[in-house]
Structure 1
Amino acid sequence: MLGNVSAGVEALARRSGRELRRLTLALTNSSVYGKVAERSSRPRGLLYAATAIRAAAANHADSVQVPENGQLALNPPLSAARSASLSTRSVHPRTLYLLNTVIRTVGGSVTVENPLAHLTKGEVCRAAVRAGLPLAVLAQGMCCGAPPRQRRGLPYDNCGVCFPCLVRRSGLLARTGIDPTPYETTPRHPSLSTERAEHWRTLRIWLGRPYTMFDLIGDVPLPPGTSAANWLQVIESGRAELRAMVRWAESEAPGAA
């Protein structure tokens, strides 16, 4: 499936006239120089960003584009147990601000930017389709935080129940009313364990209470000169897409009227 996504990206590159260069990166949890390496994926975002910055500088490019929808860039914690560093912040506006500050401090000129920062997942899906990416290819991408193919050797790239997968579902449903992605399971499947349904339960609780400016700036500070109101609007628009996805999932659940 990911081969089809690569073909779609290459087709868009040809259409735009841009040169496409690929560089494969991966983290390892094996021993390095006799020491146990980092077992989590927490350094992954920094590894990717640093590599892109180095490549941009070597090729005299002005910027590095890190495309992530605003919902997952901010990644608001669904509960207090996932606040601050307990959730990924690799593309958070403050993270990019700090990266750019480091670049300037060492005399670099590359700027790291997120061109999708103020778009929800649904808005990103709409933009992708308008740009010529077929929906069938869009549905075959991987957004999962715990990919079944990598973790358990199953024939699925997306589990369907982690928070990134739930945001993915909401975005595709907001764009077309359907989500043809082949998931491992659904958030309302009767066989789903309590542990695996955690994100679904927490998401519903989070959507049932207000999300305020204090929630936005109290988790991870925004960079100086940033409009908090604009970011809050991204979250609220994304919450609307997620609520619609919850209603859809409940109507599709086994035994639903």
Structure 2
Amino acid sequence: MQRVVLFDTGKPGRDVHAGADVIRRVKRGCMVVDSLAWDFVAIALSAYAADSSSLRSKSPDGWTREFDLTVAVRHPDVWNNLAEELTRTLAFLSTDRWTIRFIPGGIAPPSPRKPHRPELDDVVLLSGGLDSLVGALDLAAQGKSLLAVSKLVRGDGERQRRYAKRICKGHHVFNDSTKTLRNAESSQRTRSLVFIAFGVLVATSLARYNRDEGATLYLCENGFIAINPPLTGLRLGSLSTRTAHPVFLAGLTRLFEGAGIRVGVENPYRHKTKGEMLTECLDQARLEELATDSTSCGRFQKFNYHHCGRCIPCQVRRASLLAWGDVEDDTGYVYDDLSINDHQHAAFDDVRAVAMATIAVKTDFGAWLGNALGSPDVPDRAALRDMLRRGIGELAALHEALHVQ
């Protein structure tokens, strides 16, 4: 059994802790937040602390773990009634087995002396990545006044602030400040849940939410990465993020509706490839200025805050910039020339997986797709199938341009 202290640091060396910085951020912003949304932040932090503290390598199959959480919240009856839905949603996100129960005694959200309720339209998650940049640009071009929410990530902080200042009317940066007692699990599939929870919390601080109008949180991700289909039969779906997958977002929708949290989470790009996002962006001038400054790499920190150029997110990025064609891709990739026939370039696992997928799609698209869209919670299957075909087409064009054999 491991004790986790929420919204405080606990005792150094004894307690896993998470969220100590959140109260400071809410106080600093003079936010009035929904206590149910505050509970959801506590739930997300608890799941992330458990996820980070348990190494997958120690599990019987080397991946799947079993978690049994007891979380103190402000509204235990509400969340106990939703525990089954929550465990299903978490299981889909992290591919683990979860048991969760709720007890009273959760810390209350701060009550500011001078409440600030922003008269803004909606909230957008702003990560510093290319997709979230396009999303913010499009929403602003549509006339929406936006409040940006970022999660502090080393190497992206200045970029997040710069984008928010250029595009949005306000900006909140949160740090989950999670601390484990030993080396943290690197996969951390629940990390994105914390980011979403921060966005939902901020959405409840809007004036319109306090007028019972509800609010929208925009999570902008290209449809190909959102589905993240296994590129080959040797690649496990659980090795891919599921943050914007329609099954996960449908689970969140049911949770928020059940809890009475009036925030809708939307991904406007679920039917678009990354290349289509760039090509159809409503603010081409600003996108041309900022696109190659954004981040996409799955190993950005590992390579000293440079794009590796060969991971799946890097290949999707490179393919999208090629499809767009409006700017020269001067990102500066560590592994730029993927045609080199060695294990660092063309024979690297991710590059080889994309090459194999492009061949498999030509032979039998349905067989390659497999059960990637099999869940009953997946809407618009025909549109998603077409988008995935176009996404593979962008990757195939990249490999052809780079002379990858």
Give the TM-score taking structure 2 as reference length. 0.53
Contact 1:100 1:111 (8 Å CA) reproduced? yes
Q: Deviations over 1:163-210 (max 9, x none)?
A: 000000000011117422111112234565379711001110011012
User: Counterpart in 2 of 1:146?
Assistant: 299
Cα displacement string for residues 87-126 of structure 1 (whole angstroms, at most 9, x for unaligned residues): 2111101110001111111122211110111111111112
Deviation at 1:10, TM superposition (A): 2.4
Query: Are positions 1:121 and 2:274 aligned together?
Result: yes
CA drift at 1:82: 2.7
Find out whether 1:57 has 2:208 as its counterpart: no
Aligned to 1:83: 236
Q: In structure 1, the residue corresponding to 2:276 is in which secondary structure? A: helix
Q: Deviations over 1:4-47 (max 9, x none)?
A: 6643442233xxxxx2213133565642xxx7654433111111
CA contact (8 A) 2:373 2:381 kept: no
Asked whether the equivalents of residues 5 and 141 of structure 1 are also in contact (C-alpha less than 8 Å), the reply is: no
The counterpart of 2:319, out of the listed 164, 170, 183, is: 170
Paired position in structure 2 for 1:24: 174
Aligned pair partner of 1:202 in 333, 338, 353 = 353
SS in structure 2 at match of 1:116: coil
**Whose strand proportion is higher, 1 or 2?**
2
Secondary structure of 2:171's counterpart equals coil
- The residue number in structure 1 matching 2:344 is 193
Structure ID, larger Rg: 2
Q: The residue matched to 1:111 in structure 2 has which SS?
A: strand
Deviating runs (4+, > 6 A) in structure 1?
none
> Residues 101-116 of structure 1: matches in 2 within 5 Å?
101-116=254-269
Residue 12 of structure 1 pairs with residue 157 of structure 2: no
Unaligned 5+ residue runs, structure 1?
14-18
Q: Could you tell which deviates more after superposition, 130-139 or 173-182?
A: 130-139
2:283 maps to which residue?
130
Does structure 2 retain, via aligned residues, the 8 Å contact 1:8–1:133? no
The reply to whether residue 45 of structure 1 matches residue 196 of structure 2 is no
| Mean Cα deviation higher: 49-58 or 22-31 | 22-31
Distance 1:200 1:225, change over 3 A: closer
Aligned identity (percent) is 27
Higher helix fraction (1 or 2): 1
Q: Supply the AA of the counterpart residue of 1:80.
A: G
TM-score by length of 1: 0.81
Opposite residue 266 of structure 2, the aligned amino acid is E
Q: Give the residue type in structure 2 aligned to 1:69.
A: N
Whole-angstrom CA distance in 1 between matches of 2:194 and 2:203? 14
5+ long unaligned stretches in structure 2: 1-154
Give RMSD over aligned pairs.
2.9
CA distance in 2, matches of 1:27, 1:207: 41
SS in 2 for 1:55: helix
Provide the C-alpha distance between the structure 2 equivalents of 1:212 and 1:74, rounded to a whole number of angstroms.
15
Q: 1:80 offset after TM fit, Å?
A: 2.4
SS at match of 1:112: strand
Q: Is the 8 A contact 1:158 1:165 kept in 2?
A: yes
Q: Deviations over 1:68-101 (max 9, x none)?
A: 0011011111122333323211110111000111
Whole-angstrom distance in 1 between the partners of 2:344 and 2:283 = 38
Aligned length: 240
Partner of 2:330: 180
